Amino acid sequence: MGDPRRRVPRTDSLLADPRLAQAERELGRALVKSVISQAQQRARAGEIEPEQVAEHAIAALPTTAAGLRPVLNATGVVVHTNLGRAPLSRAALEAVVAAGGSTDVEFDLETGRRARRGRGALAALAEAVPAAGGVHVVNNNAAALLLTALALAPGKEIVLSRGELVEIGDGFRIPELLAATGSRLREVGTTNRTGARDYAEAIGPDTGFVLKVHPSNFQVTGFTSAAGVEELTGLGVPLVVDIGSGLLAPHPALPDEPDAATVLAAGANLVTASGDKLLGGPQAGLLLGEASLIERLRRHPTARALRVDKLTLAALEATLRGPAPPVAQALAADPVRLRERAERLAAQLPGAQAVDCVSAVGGGGAPGVELPSAAVSLPEASALPLRTGDPPVVGRLERGRCLLDLRTVDPADDEVLLAAVRRCSS
């Protein structure tokens, strides 16, 4: 037989295998060749038999040409920043696929002329929040704040409370973002207490607008007070409220989370929010409020640099008009049903138990809110093989166990989860 390394099949003969040829058409030549070359190297290193190279290459082919891998989020963190925040609904995913080719995003098929870009998504947003006179969508909430500062406070002051100088995460600080526009920050009040008078005394000819920022990822308790939205109206300058999470209307499970409809009804002139937190849609920055202010933002020269693409517009419209997205379903999940699922799954997995646990909202939203949930509890050592398995399953380490919290797992994925765990323990 000679040296097995000489029997390693050549790349062109492997590419002639119909399954790898099909993969080449779907994923591209470079990607398939690199997978083949890794399998050949394993054969040369004696890790696999030369006859197994094709099978190993086929097994190692990615599902898509992008490196991002679908992951089962069993962390119990509903909006998990590191796992891509809100997972899109099936309706939103299908809308993205449909809009991915040529599409009438900016074209009227009746007249054959240019039409308002993203009019479907904008109409859906306006219908969802009737109190908003106008709406606009940009890349994310940070972009919404940036555009607001550039358009409404060029060379002027933005008045905000010292208790709302928020760092969102990964070093992103709202005051630094605002200062980068050239606007000046006029901090008022103290870390724990800021009243309406503090704002009123700071208003003058140099004021661009008053900004309230929702402290979305921390709580200050004890001797505290903050001026409410209704107390800050009538100051003669626009009142802008960054609500963070993107709730458009009150949510029964999240009584302390601000929402766009309530904040606008209380007198805010402009609201900014994220699309991919509690709204459960794509990454986007939502701007809702007085039509004249929205028009100033839309007309600002930098608006073009912050605009969203057709995929985002498609996903946003489908999130707003379609069935409840996964985030809404996870927030509404019934703990009794979650416990039943945990027991059914644990009974089929040796060494697993069903346990009660507590999930979190996450994603810089609703700090301190505890959602009762249920999990499949596994030995802590399962965590790594689960994360590196196929599909990867990300659980939560708690008191020496690896918990698979079912609140963030779609019930339709229970069998996939079961199979993934079984593969790791066999």
CB 159 within 8 A of CB 199: yes
Q: Would you say 4 or 169 has its CB closer to ligand PLP?
A: 169
- How far apart CA 130 and CA 343 sit, in angstroms, is 44
User: Contact region for ligand PLP (CB under 6 A) — 109-117, 130-138, 190-198, 211-219?
Assistant: 211-219
Q: Which of 161, 183, 194, 216 binds ligand PLP (CB under 6 A)?
A: 216
Backbone angles phi, psi at 204, to 5 degrees: -160, -170
* Length in residues, the chain: 426
Q: Which of 17, 157, 242, 317 binds ligand PLP (CB under 6 A)?
A: 242
CB 369 within 8 A of CB 361: yes
Cis peptide bond upstream of 391, omega within 30 = yes
Q: Can you read off the two tokens belonging to residue 70?
A: 């679908």
> How many binding residues for ligand PLP (CB under 6 A)?
14
**Which residue in this structure is represented by tokens 């609201």?**
271
Minimum distance between the CB of residue 247 and ligand PLP, rounded to whole angstroms?
11
Up-side HSE of residue 258: CA atoms within 13 Å toward CB?
23
- How far apart CA 295 and CA 381 sit, in angstroms, is 56
**Is residue 136 involved in binding ligand PLP (CB under 6 A)?**
no
Task: Determine the residue with CB nearest ligand PLP.
Answer: 244
Minimum distance between the CB of residue 226 and ligand PLP, rounded to whole angstroms?
14
How distant is the alpha carbon of residue 286 from its chain centre?
A: 14
**Is residue 17 involved in binding ligand PLP (CB under 6 A)?**
no
Q: Which of 122, 142, 210, 314 binds ligand PLP (CB under 6 A)?
A: 142
User: Contact region for ligand PLP (CB under 6 A) — 29-37, 115-123, 135-143, 200-208?
Assistant: 135-143
**Is residue 140 involved in binding ligand PLP (CB under 6 A)?**
yes
End-to-end CA distance of the chain: 34
Q: Which of 80, 186, 214, 396 binds ligand PLP (CB under 6 A)?
A: 214
**Which residue in this structure is represented by tokens 């945990």?**
342
**Which residue in this structure is represented by tokens 């800050």?**
232
**Is residue 364 involved in binding ligand PLP (CB under 6 A)?**
yes
Enclosing H/E stretch for 419: helix 414-425
Per-residue binding string, ligand PLP, 302-341, x by CB under 6 A, is ----------------------------------------
Q: What is the DSSP letter of 203?
A: -
- How far apart CA 269 and CA 41 sit, in angstroms, is 63
Minimum distance between the CB of residue 144 and ligand PLP, rounded to whole angstroms?
8
**Is residue 168 involved in binding ligand PLP (CB under 6 A)?**
yes
**Is residue 164 involved in binding ligand PLP (CB under 6 A)?**
no
**Is residue 263 involved in binding ligand PLP (CB under 6 A)?**
no
Binding stretches for ligand PLP (CB under 6 A): 140-142, 166, 168, 174, 213-214, 216, 242, 244, 274, 285, 364
